[in-house]
Amino acid sequence: MATETAREHTVAELRLARGDPDAAYTTARDAYADPDNGKLWRLMSLLHAAAQAAAGRINADETDWIATAAQDQVALWPHARWWAMIIDATLHPDPDRWRKAADALVPGQTPVYLRMTTYLTAARAMVGAGNRADAADLLAQAAELAARHGARTVLADAEQLAQHARLRLPGQPRQSGPDAGAPDADGLTSREFEVLRLVAVGRSNPQIAAELFISPKTASVHLSRILAKLQVTSRGESAAAAWARGLLPRWRRTGSSAARRRTSPRRPRRARPPPADSDAARRARPPAGPAAGSASVLRAA
């Protein structure tokens, strides 16, 4: 039965990844209701899958059922409180909840993959809240576990988050120059260039915050500094000034079709044959040889 439970859990996750949270939730709940699934880890893994499917959806019945079922399991097995805390943080995304859930994980008593993904999710929540110290600590734990166990996808996600949040993972060299936030020749820092690039393509402050893993308030502060440095008063003027001063092509030219055209060799042009009735075509025709004329005379005789 353990194999069947794992299969249902995987099916629920796949349906969620395909953008069908309703089917994912139904799969997890039906499997949870199966009386043969009596083991704690099976039940809690199904509840976690159901929580991931229900997260972000306005459905109090689903949320209440998942939270109640998780607490019922904790009442039977108190050592599973950490799993209930992860489910609670999944249902109600909040930096404090994720920090507590991450702190409750005990090495050797919790699945390794669940630990590293929880650390990574908690770090992302801390970055969004502007808590760089906790974010760096959680991110380092996630990256260390991922590297040790060969979880390349989790490690890549951790490295990407560290890059966006300007955090240094253990073992990485310290950044220097513009990428470390030093002012560019135009007076803008690398982070301000990133914000300006997104402003130029029409992103709002909340969208910029989500893409750069910062808070909307921080995005607004960066935009205010950009406007002051470019001596403009609006987002549209900042984008126009950036294009006029050549600040943005540094991102757009990389790998562009124009660059490929400049670097790719040109193919030699093939000469077209002249029209059939032209002088050049008549000159190019081979003249009739004497043998052909002699043969025609003999046939006439």
Q: Give the phi and the psi of residue 142 in degrees, each rounded to 5.
A: -65, -45
In this structure, the number of other CB atoms found within 10 A of the CB of residue 139 comes to: 28
The whole-number pLDDT of residue 10 equals 62
Q: What is the mean pLDDT of residues 270-285?
A: 57
The whole-number pLDDT of residue 213 equals 77
- Residue 97 and residue 118: Cα distance in Å, rounded? 11
Q: Averaging pLDDT over each range in 43-47, 54-58, 161-165, 250-254, which range is the top one?
A: 161-165
Q: Averaging pLDDT over each range in 55-59, 139-143, 195-199, which range is the top one?
A: 139-143
- Residue 51 and residue 61: Cα distance in Å, rounded? 12
Q: Cα 119–124–129 angle (5° rounding)?
A: 120
The pLDDT confidence band at residue 183, using thresholds 50, 70 and 90, is very low
**Residue 139 near residue 162 (C-beta atoms within 8 A):** yes
Q: What is the mean pLDDT of residues 196-218?
A: 86
Structure tokens at 244: 């006029």
Say which range, 37-41, 275-279, 287-291, has the weakest mean pLDDT. Answer: 287-291
Number of alpha carbons in the 13 Å side-chain half-sphere of residue 92: 13
Q: Go through the chain and tell me how many residues it has.
A: 301
Q: What global pTM score does this model have?
A: 0.56
pLDDT reading at 177 higher than 50: no
Helix, strand, or coil (residue 126): helix
The whole-number pLDDT of residue 179 equals 43
Sketch the domain layout of the chain as residue ranges: 1-90, 93-171, 178-252
The whole-number pLDDT of residue 123 equals 93
pLDDT reading at 238 higher than 60: yes
Instruction: State pLDDT tens for residues 117-132.
Output: 999 999 999 988 888 8
CATH number of 178-252: 1.10.10.10
Helix, strand, or coil (residue 246): coil
Instruction: State pLDDT tens for residues 88-97.
Output: 999 888 899 9
pLDDT reading at 254 higher than 60: no
How far CA 272 is from CA of 93, 156, 269, in Å, comes to 69, 54, 9
The whole-number pLDDT of residue 113 equals 87
pLDDT reading at 151 higher than 70: yes
Say which range, 18-32, 70-84, 164-178, 280-294, has the weakest mean pLDDT. Answer: 280-294
The pLDDT confidence band at residue 239, using thresholds 50, 70 and 90, is confident
The whole-number pLDDT of residue 299 equals 44
Q: Residues near 148 by Cβ (< 8 Å), separated by ≥ 6?
A: none
Average per-residue pLDDT in the chain? 75
Instruction: State pLDDT tens for residues 243-253.
Output: 877 776 544 43
Q: What is the mean pLDDT of residues 131-156?
A: 90
